[in-house]
Amino acid sequence: MEANISLSLKNFTQLENFGHSLRASSYRFRPTSVKEIEEVFRLARESGLTVTARGAGKSYNDASLNGGGILLDMSAINQILGWDAASGIVRCEPGVTLEQLWQYVEPNGWWPPVVSGTMKTTLGGCLAANIHGKNNFRMGPIGEHVLEFTALLPTGEEITCTPKTNIDLFYGMISGLGMLGVFTSITLQMKQIESGLLEVDAWPVHDLHEHLAFLLDKAPNHDYTVGWMDTMTGGKSLGRGQIHAAHYLHGKEDPNPQATMQLNNQILPPRIFGVFPKSILYLFMRPFANNLGWWGVNTAKYIASLRKHTFRQSHAAFHFLLDYVPNWELSYGRGGMIQHQSFLPKETAEAAWREMLTMSLNRGIPSYLGVTKRHRPDKFLLTHAVDGFSLALDFKVTDGNRATLSQMLKDFDRIVLDAGGRFYFAKNSETSAEAARAFLGEDTIAKFKELKKKCDPNNLLESDLFRRVFG
């Protein structure tokens, strides 16, 4: 086994981010055991190279890239180590994906308490970024449902952290971007469900004020809320869109929960209308990935959403919208796409986003897709959460718009920081070191660096993201 771990040029691999907008080449290793991770650390020390752990590579930026260094591909360390269907406690290796996890626990009447918009992410990556879902205002980030994790530090030490022991490292490594150590096992508490369906209410909202008011008002009575925003319409209708709020079904609401919780009622269909394969759908979206095409899509979607209605949907269909069209990111073409997500306090969000959205329309670089959510703060060290809302804006990247888009995102960041907002390290690719310092604060950065010094005194763990934001 150990003979495999040597620095061969054959391992040199070019990898991308989720949005296909950034590439980096590294020596890639795909260990299958903790022992082999140790070997990779040894190799890094001997060769003077840095190491970045990568799960599924679904961050929109450079979080899992390490140009010229070593890439620790964790996807083969992916066993579910233990599952107790009575208590809903599951113990997994870090390469286990959310897809593996929900398909494993759902037939027993459980569901992961927090999931991302794609089920392809790994638990190690989810913890490193401390992901949130559409229930962040209620359930917090995934870190709040971790009962225990074990990790290998670059020093060779293996540690166990819980919310009660090794507290600093528990709150530092979750949200710590993989820069303190590598997760080796993760114990999570699942959420019990009484049905495989959610009841979803859909309301149209006619402007930004109403949009945010709905997110705020609907949150207390629902388990999940999410807003879609038509980001291509300005003026009085700026911020119009649709709110989806969903709640779990209880007791007799679902007459046949055993059936709805079966996997075949959850798995996303591979074809549209039973005939058209979704795997090539992105190719047909390409011609529409421009201002006019997306204006048409947004307008049509808004008109379709004007009817207030209620429907039932499987958990998987409600949560994993990003998996509905496989490879949708490729429809953006050669330059790929990026996402700018800002988290703003509920008091300042409306004015700040009004300014940002107006700016993007005036400058002719509209976002093609806007998604809003309701959030609450959490205790993790590099937290992105606030008592307020988030707005995620997707932008297509082309050779022609890089400079103007870059300038606009700098202006966005200034508006967000002035309004007391924060950014999310799994999403934003352009956040500068200065912007990160401004929202995290000197104390947080000092504390993070102190933990880093303790866990990784030789700076073995470094990603392109780390060098961009903390370097």
Applying CB under 8 A, which residues contact other proteins?
7, 9-14, 17, 19, 21-26, 47-50, 61-62, 67-69, 335-336, 338, 397, 402-403, 405-406, 409, 429-430, 464, 467-468, 471
Which residues make Cβ contacts (< 8 Å) with residue 312, sequence separation at least 6?
197, 198, 199, 200, 249
Least separation in angstroms between residue 69's CB and other proteins is: 6
Q: How far is the CB of 356 from other proteins (least distance, A)?
A: 16
Kindly state the DSSP code that residue 227 receives in the 8-state scheme. Answer: E
Give 24 or 317: the residue with its C-beta nearer to other proteins: 24
By beta-carbon proximity to other proteins, the closer residue of 239 and 335 is 335
The alpha-carbon radius of gyration of the chain (Å, integer) is 22
Instruction: Provide, rounded to whole angstroms, the least separation between the CB of residue 311 and other proteins.
Output: 37
Tokens representing 17 are 């981010």
Nearer to other proteins, 188 or 369 (CB): 369
User: Which residue number, 24 or 188, has a Cβ lying nearer to other proteins?
Assistant: 24
Phi, psi dihedrals of residue 140, rounded to the nearest 5°: 70, -170
Which C-beta is closer to other proteins: that of 140 or that of 336? Answer: 336
Q: Contacts from 85-90 at CB under 8 Å and sequence distance 24+?
A: 85/109, 85/110, 88/189, 88/190, 88/191, 88/192, 89/147, 89/187, 89/188, 89/189, 89/190, 90/187, 90/188, 90/190
Closest to other proteins by CB, 54 vs 374, is: 54
Looking at the Cβ atoms of 225 and 429, the one nearer to other proteins is: 429
Cα gap 287→290, rounded to integer Å:
7
Determine which helix (DSSP H) or strand (DSSP E) holds 199, and give its type and residue range.
Answer: strand 197-205
**Nearest approach, Cβ of residue 406 and other proteins (Å):** 4
Q: Residue 359 CB, nearest distance to other proteins (Å)?
A: 16
Nearest distance from C-beta of residue 401 to other proteins, angstroms = 9
DSSP annotation string for 317-341: HHH-GGGTSTTGGGGG-TT-EEEEE
Q: Buried b vs exposed e over 174-212: b needs ≥16 C-beta within 10 Å?
A: bbbbbbbbbbbbbbbbbbebbbbbbbbbbbbbebbebbb
C-beta of 22: minimal distance to other proteins in Å?
A: 5
Pairing of strands 271-272, 309-314: unpaired
